[in-house]
Amino acid sequence: MQFRNFKMIGYVVYGRGSFNQLSEILLPHRQKNCPMVFLVDHFFEGKPFASRIPLSGNDKLIFADVSTEPKTSYVDKLAQELKDEFGSISGIVGIGGGSAMDLAKAVALMMNNPGSSADYQGWDLVKNPGVYKVGIPTLSGTGAEVSRTTVLTGPTKKLGMNSDFTPFDQIVLDPELIADAPVNQRFYTGMDCYIHCIESLEGTYLNEFSKSYGDKALQLCREVFLQQEEWNEISDEKLMMASYAGGMSIAYSQVGVAHAVSYGLSYLLGTRHGIGNCIVMNHLEEFYPEGVREFKQMVDKNKVDIPGGICSGLKEEDFEKMMDVSLGMKPLWENALGKDWEKIMTRKKLRALYERL
């Protein structure tokens, strides 16, 4: 038995207002004449928060276009522009949801690796450490702040750059920054965490390490999405820790059916990660009966709409492509259904599931 020896993030600061320490945190990592690059979710362009970013010297502020989830072409473009403008940089600070954080991780890696980020989509393909990188979430749920991957859509696949060089050197978890997220977006991204917990806790890869974090994250999700009367500051604090713990849980296990199926949707239709997982989870009673029942309670309690009928009108070749992408996620299926998963999740069965979405 070979146990995973996984690389964790370097430093964590947690607390309401901890963003104010960013300037001090960055100081020892600033190299002479090399700027710190702030890659910030475009949602914050023109918002008061943007003026709190601690720019100094020749630092560069880039508002990241996250109107679609990160693509390898965009990562390559950002890295090339930074190389052309500065040669080398002190580091990258990614501020935003999972998309902006993943972009920051990927661009940091591409500053020190040749070729295209598409060459490194897979496991342990990245050759050199990237530049110093910091992640600061403004939405909670994906666990991208703790994970060893950065999920990218490339010319032939949607797959992360999974490597020991991928985790952030530093994360800043400030619950104040997620306070203004719109209810629907907060729910979809929060459900990503809930679904990580269900898939991890119901999976065959489960061990006590994953279970400990998964149980805690699940409890926090229940508190904020089911048990409280109304959303408040404590809810933001809990959800931020749920995301962290959920990410830690899947670090030593794996996600499952909802993610495997939603990857197909997102590859073909561009469906965003959080909402895509919700669309799929809504139809997974067969695999996660308890989890789906509770998920539906959360949907009702939070008065959120989960779209349906998104696969109606798709062509034969569209279904085939989605199934290829989904069934390619072998570890996810194996975690969910065991070693004989291919006998259980046949193409016919998966096709019927996609048709129901």
Task: Give the interface with ligand NAD as residue ranges (CB under 6 A).
Answer: 41-43, 66, 69-70, 96-100, 102, 138-139, 141-144, 147, 149-151, 178, 180-182, 185, 189, 192, 272-274
Closer residue to ligand NAD, CB minimum distance, 35 or 335: 335
**Shortest spacing between CB 90 and ligand NAD, in angstroms:** 23
Calculate the alpha carbon distances from 70 to 84, 97, 227, 263, 296 in Å.
21, 11, 34, 14, 29
d(CA 201, CA 226): 19
Q: Which residues pair with 15 in a beta bridge?
A: none
> Segment near Zn ion (CB under 5 A), from 23-31, 38-46, 189-197, 336-344?
189-197
**Which of 34, 148 has the CB closer to ligand NAD?**
148
Q: Which does 139 bind (CB under 5 to 8 A by kind): ligand NAD, Zn ion, none?
A: ligand NAD
Q: Which residues 6+ apart lie within 8 Å of 298 measured at CB? A: 187, 191, 194, 221, 225, 226
Q: Would you call 121 helix, strand, or coil by DSSP?
A: coil
Rg (CA), the chain: 20
In the complex, residue closest to Zn ion by CB: 192
CA distance 38 to 95: 7
At closest approach, how far in Å is the CB of 171 from ligand NAD? 12
Q: Which is nearer to ligand NAD, 116 or 185 (CB)?
A: 185
Residue 195, Cβ neighbours under 10 Å: how many? 28
* Alpha-carbon torsion (254, 259, 261, 265), positive or negative: negative
Give me the least distance between CB of 162 and ligand NAD, in Å please: 9
Nearer to ligand NAD, 59 or 174 (CB): 174
- 192 belongs to the binding site for Zn ion (CB under 5 A): yes
Residue closer to ligand NAD (CB basis): 113 or 138:
138
Task: Say which entry of ligand NAD, Zn ion, none residue 167 contacts (CB below 5 to 8 A, set by partner kind).
Answer: none
- CB nearer ligand NAD, residue 34 or residue 205: 205
> Pick from ligand NAD, Zn ion, none: which does 214 bind, CB < 5 to 8 A by kind?
none
Q: How far is the CB of 283 from ligand NAD (least distance, A)?
A: 20
CB nearer ligand NAD, residue 180 or residue 342: 180
The amino acid present at 154, given as its one-letter code, is G
Residue with smaller CB distance to ligand NAD, 34 or 152:
152
Of 86 and 306, which has the nearer Cβ to ligand NAD?
306
CB of 25 to Zn ion, least distance (A): 27
CB 196, min distance to Zn ion, A = 6
Query: 307 contacts which partner out of Zn ion, ligand NAD, none, CB within 5 to 8 A by kind?
Result: none
- Which of Zn ion, ligand NAD, none has residue 182 at its interface (CB below 5 to 8 Å by kind)? ligand NAD
Residue 237, interface with Zn ion (CB under 5 A)? no
Shortest CA distance to 165 belongs to which of 121, 137, 135, 124?
Answer: 124
Q: Where do the H-state alpha helices sit in the chain?
A: 22-26, 72-86, 98-110, 183-201, 208-222, 233-251, 257-269, 273-281, 289-301, 316-327, 330-337, 341-344, 347-356
Minimum CB separation of residue 240 from ligand NAD in Å reads 12
**Residue 269 CB burial class (10 angstroms; 0-12, 13-18, ≥19):** middle
Enumerate residues 6+ apart whose C-beta is below 8 A from 199. Answer: 250, 254, 255, 256, 257, 258, 259, 288, 335, 336
> How far is Cα 251 from Cα 76, in angstroms, rounded to an integer?
27
User: Residue 145 Cβ, how far from ligand NAD at the closest point, in Å?
Assistant: 8
Instruction: Give the list of residues 6+ apart from residue 27 with CB closer than 8 angstroms, or none.
Output: none
Q: Please, what is the minimum distance in Å from the beta carbon of residue 139 to ligand NAD?
A: 4
- Residue 98 binds which entry of Zn ion, ligand NAD, none, with Cβ cut-offs from 5 to 8 Å by kind? ligand NAD
State which amino acid sits at residue 59.
Answer: D
- List contacts with Zn ion (CB under 5 A): 192
